[in-house]
A and B are shown apart, each in its own frame.
Chain A
Amino acid sequence: MRANPEVLILEDDAETLDELQDHFARRRFHPLGARSASRALSLLENNRYSSRPVLAIIDWDLGKAPDRSASSGDVLSRLARELRECPVIVYSQNIDAFNVRSQIQRSHPRALLHDKRDGDASLLERIDRMLDRTVGDLRIHDGTVVVHLPSLDQHHHREAIRLVVHHPEIVTFHSDTATKAVRRFGEWLHTHNSAVRLVSHGNRKYRLSVTASEGAAQPSDEA
Chain B
Amino acid sequence: MGVTDAPWMLGVRAPDRGRAILVVTVDGELAVAVHDAVPGGMAVIRDARSEDADEITAACIPWPWMVIGSAVSLTPALASVLRHRPVLTYWLGDPAAGLPGHARYFDRPAALLDAVRRACVADVGGMRLAPGSGVELDDGTLMRGATLESLVAAYPHGFALPTHNFRAVSNALARHNAGWSAQRDGACVRLVRSHVGAAR
Also in contact, A105 and B2, with CB within 8 A (given A76-B11, A77-B9, A222-B40):
no
Residue in chain B with minimal CB distance to A211: B140
Residue of B5, B12, B14 touching A105 (CB-CB under 8 A) = B12
Is A80 within 8 A of B14, CB to CB? yes
Interface pairs A-B: 4 shortest CB-CB: A80-B11, A102-B28, A72-B2, A73-B4
Task: Known contacts A98-B32, A105-B31, A105-B45; decide if A77 and B4 are in contact (CB<8 Å).
Answer: yes
Closest to A171 in B: B132
Chain A residues near B16 (CB-CB < 8 A): 84
Interface status of B142 (Cβ within 8 A of chain A): yes
One digit per residue, 1 when the CB lies within 8 angstroms of any chain A CB and 0 when it does not, for chain B 16-34 equals: 1110000000011101100
Interface residues on chain A, number (Cβ under 8 Å): 42
Asked if B2 and A76 sit within 8 Å, CB to CB, the answer is yes
User: Smallest CB–CB gap between B48 and chain A, Å?
Assistant: 8
Binds B, one of A17-25, A26-34, A201-209: A201-209
Tell me, in angstroms, the Cα distance from A60 to B39 when the chains sit together: 24
Known contacts: A109-B46, A110-B44. The answer to whether A102 contacts B32 by CB under 8 A is yes
Shortest beta-carbon distance from B43 to chain A in Å: 10
State whether A71 touches B28 (Cβ < 8 A): no
Cβ of B101: which chain A residues have Cβ within 8 Å of it? none
**C-alpha spacing A72/B1, complex, angstroms:** 8
Is the CB–CB distance between B17 and A108 below 8 Å? no
Chain A nearest Cβ from B130, distance in angstroms? 8
Instruction: Fill in one digit per residue for A17-61: 1 if any B CB lies within 8 Å of its CB, else 0.
Output: 000000000000000000001000000000000000000000011
A101 proximity list for chain B (CB < 8 A): 28, 32, 35
Inter-chain contact B31/A201, CB cutoff 8 Å: no
Given A77-B11, A109-B46, A201-B133, also A220-B2 (CB < 8 A): no
Decide if the interface of chain A is mainly helix, strand, loop or mixed: mixed
When distances are taken between beta carbons in the complex, the residues of chain A under 8 Å from B40 are 168-169, 220, 222
Size of B's binding interface in residues, CB under 8 A: 35
Interface assignment of B131: CB less than 8 Å from any CB of chain A: yes
Does A99 belong to the interface (CB within 8 Å)? yes
With contacts A106-B47, A109-B44 taken as known, whether A169 is within 8 angstroms of B3 at the C-beta atoms is no
Mostly helix, strand, loop or mixed at chain B's interface? loop
Contacts A84-B14, A168-B41, A170-B131 given; indicate if A61 touches B4 (C-beta within 8 A).
no
18 A-B residue pairs with CB within 8 Å: A61-B2, A72-B2, A73-B2, A80-B11, A80-B14, A81-B11, A98-B29, A99-B27, A101-B32, A102-B28, A106-B47, A109-B11, A168-B41, A168-B132, A170-B18, A170-B131, A170-B132, A203-B17
Whether, in the assembled complex, A79 has its beta carbon less than 8 Å from a beta carbon of chain B, the answer is yes
Is residue B100 contacting chain A, with contact meaning CB distance below 8 A?
no
Give min CB distance, B24 to chain A, whole Å: 12
Shortest CB-to-CB span from B38 to chain A, Å, is 11
Is B97 part of the contact surface with A, judged by Cβ < 8 Å?
Answer: no
Of the candidates B3, B9, B131, B140, which one forms a contact with A81 in the assembled complex, judged by CB atoms under 8 Å apart? B9
Q: Is the CB of A103 within 8 A of B2?
A: yes
A60 to B28, CA, bound (A): 18
Determine how close the nearest CB of chain B comes to the CB of A38; give it in whole angstroms: 12
Cα separation A72 to B35 with both chains bound (whole Å): 21
Min C-beta distance of B116 to chain A, whole Å:
16
Select B2's contact among A98, A104, A201, beta carbons within 8 Å: A104
Instruction: Report chain B residues within 8 Å CB of A80.
Output: 10-12, 14
Q: Is residue A142 within 8 Å, beta carbon to beta carbon, of the partner chain?
A: no
Are the CB atoms of B2 and A209 closer together than 8 Å?
no
Q: How far is the CA of A108 from the CA of B45 in the complex (A)?
A: 10
CB pair B28 A209 closer than 8 Å: no
Instruction: Name the CB-closest residue of A to B46.
Output: A109
> Contact between A74 and B4 (Cβ–Cβ < 8 Å)?
yes
**A170–B133 CB distance below 8 A:** yes
CB contacts (< 8 Å) of B133 on chain A: these are: 170, 201, 205
Say whether B200 faces chain A, with CB atoms less than 8 Å apart: no
**Cβ < 8 Å to B, chain A residues 198-223:** 199, 201-203, 205, 207, 209, 211, 220, 222
